[in-house]
Amino acid sequence: MNTFKLQIAAPDGMRYDGEAVQISVRGIEGELAVLAGHIPFVTALKSGECRVYTEDNIIRRASCSGGMLMVSKDCVRLLSSDFTWEKE
């Protein structure tokens, strides 16, 4: 599986910093997923579930209240004012 570098940050700290296979979020226009090699783009997010598919086939779920998703050539970054992993 191709992976990409993913960084998730909230104002009070980093939530994720590492490789991922896929990230699914709720954008302002609807659910979307990003895989490795996506073209650079920026979108705003709605409150909702965020799923991160890691290299070892684990799906991590989190609640994400708004924010932004930035896909650049070498890195995907998600900023959210409140981002909490499930079971935390």
Partner 1 sequence: MGANIKAIRARIKSVESTRHITKAMELVASSKIKRATAKMEQSRFYRSVMLDAFADLSSAKTMYSKARDASLPVLYIIVAGDRGLAGGYNNNIFRSSAVMMKENDIVLPVGKRAVDYYSGKKRTVVTKEFTSCEDMTSDGCSRAAYLIRDMYDRGEIGGVRLISTEFVSMLTQNPNMTHLLPLQKEGADETKPSVSVEYEPSAEAVLAALIPEYIAGVLYSSVCESFASELAARRTAMDAATKNADEMLDNLSLKYNQARQSAITQEITEIVAGANA
The residue ranges that bind partner 1 (CB under 8 A) are 7, 9-14, 27-29, 32, 39-44, 66-68, 70, 72-73, 77, 79, 81-82
* Closest distance to partner 1 from the beta carbon of 20 (Å): 17
Q: CA–CA separation, 72 vs 88, rounded Å?
A: 29
The CA dihedral of 11, 13, 19, 25, to the nearest 10 degrees, is -40
Our CB check for partner 1 shows the closer of 1 and 81 to be: 81
Our CB check for partner 1 shows the closer of 41 and 49 to be: 41
Our CB check for partner 1 shows the closer of 1 and 14 to be: 14
